[in-house]
Chain A
Amino acid sequence: GAVVSQHPSRVICKSGTSVKIECRSLDFQATTMFWYRQFPKQSLMLMATSNEGSKATYEQGVEKDKFLINHASLTLSTLTVTSAHPEDSSFYICSALAGTSGSTDTQYFGPGTRLTVL
């Protein structure tokens, strides 16, 4: 099946620093990628939809200036957590849509990035 990678898998940073997380589709092109965050023992919360070559669409309550998304190519989307604070500590997961028929396509998920802000 399609493979999506994330880097880094785990990051620990000091409060106030910025952290960039990469999401790559390894064997397919993805015009649309999604970013989720997941708190312990909870479900995934969609943060934003990332479209190649255009601005990301953020869900209600997600700060655009806090979580910068760039989808510069058909295989790479990045999420930058700016001026991270302890409350930003979470598991961040990306997914990529395989195919071109929109919502009927399967989302393939990356392995996630565990962010810990001290």
Chain B
Amino acid sequence: SQQGEEDPQALSIQEGENATMNCSYKTSINNLQWYRQNSGRGLVHLILIRSNEREKHSGRLRVTLDTSKKSSSLLITASRAADTASYFCATFTNAGKSTFGDGTTLTVKP
């Protein structure tokens, strides 16, 4: 069963607003990664955050990791219509095993 849970399942916002997605997990991890997927397409890697890191930035993306709560969040600032996609978090154990969350479907209205 998937250990990653994401919320919300679906998020609809206006262009220019910020979008926040959350991910929770259950076991110890080595790192957590966020991906986006456009409908029917492959995954695009967005950002990797290691278990000893608390926050990372990449352009309009900000990722936080709280290992005590076993949760992570992805913030997309100043959203654009092109950000419309599904976003997945994936956790990686020390053994390299990955588990994907259920995903959040983001719709950014122009």
Count contacts between A and B, CB distance < 8 Å.
65
The interface size of chain B toward A, counting residues with CB under 8 Å, comes to: 28
In Å, the complex CA distance between A45 and B98 comes to: 9
B33 in the interface (beta carbon within 8 A): yes
Please state if A107 and B2 are interface contacts (CB–CB under 8 Å): no
A21 within 8 A of B: no
Query: Chain B's interface: helix, strand, loop or mixed, by majority?
Result: strand
Check if B45 sits within 8 Å of A46, measured CB to CB: no
User: Contacts A107-B45, A112-B41 hold; do A43 and B2 have CB atoms under 8 A apart?
Assistant: yes
Q: B88 to chain A: which residues have CB within 8 Å?
A: 43-44
Contacts of B101 in A (CB 8 A): 43
Q: A32 contacts B40, CB within 8 Å? A: no
**Contact assessment for A109 and B30 in the assembled complex, using a CB-CB cutoff below 8 Å:** no
Assess the B42–A103 pair: CB atoms within 8 A.
no
